[in-house]
Amino acid sequence: MEYLKWSNQDGIATITIARPPANALSSGVLRELSSILDEIEQNRDMKVIVIHGEGRFFSAGADIKEFTSLSSSEGSVNLSQTGQDLFDRMERFPKPIIAAIHGAALGGGLELAMACHIRLVGENTKLGLPELQLGLIPGYAGTQRLPKYVGVARAAEMLFTSEPITGQEAVQFGLANHVYPENEVLEQALKLAGKIAKKSTGSLKATIQLLNYAKNKEFYEGSKKEIELFGDIFVSSDAKEGIQAFIEKREPQFKGE
């Protein structure tokens, strides 16, 4: 593994995103995560998964520099589809997945966290979907999962403004389960995982299957439409300007094209 580390102890598989400086979710990270899930799913000794980030962040988002290598709508659609397939698999995964979030979970990083079954956050953690700041939209079903947790009005404000919320607010709004001091999040996640690992694997799997019935037909229609619109917007002039402005660390100048 080049970007991820993982270990198994006492039935808890701990996956660490280790791609400095911001643990950006490149296509390589997504491939490695999928490969690790393959192995965990086949190992009966691994009962719960904890995902966290190494260094200052959980994940500050997608790899924007990688976007510059995508020259067509087809490439961006494939990227969106890959992420959505992986995150949908995580939400349906037969073993509970806990996200231990510190520092920041932005863009694709928050979409990854929202695909986990439980989220623990640090007090000062920043969580948000800032894609509109780049002239883009979320592509990993963020527009569909965020309203499910925080409501449509709150999700609209977060998306339209690109402004993140704090860990405290995430719990208040229903996006996270518990908030802790930043340096205690992983410890608390492992403690919670230990409690869950004592449960029957059969009952855990059945419960996850039942929880997924809460995803209605509109969710799947919406996530499919998100892929289509992500591809359309990705090749727009505004998206090109937003991506370039991000790389150059300046404010984008959007022209509505």
* Catalytic residue ranges: 111, 131
Which of 36, 39, 12, 44 has its CA nearest to residue 202?
Answer: 44
Report phi then psi at 57, rounded to 5: -130, 155
What is the 3-state secondary structure of 184-220? HHHHHHHHHHHHHHCCCHHHHHHHHHHHHHHCCHHHH
113 token code pair: 């966290």
8 Å CB contact between 63 and 146: no
Count the Cβ atoms, other than its own, within 10 Å of residue 41. Answer: 13
Q: Are strands 97-101 and 48-53 parallel, antiparallel or unpaired?
A: parallel
Report phi then psi at 200, rounded to 5: -65, 135
8 Å CB contact between 125 and 100: no
Q: What is the largest CA-CA distance in the chain?
A: 56
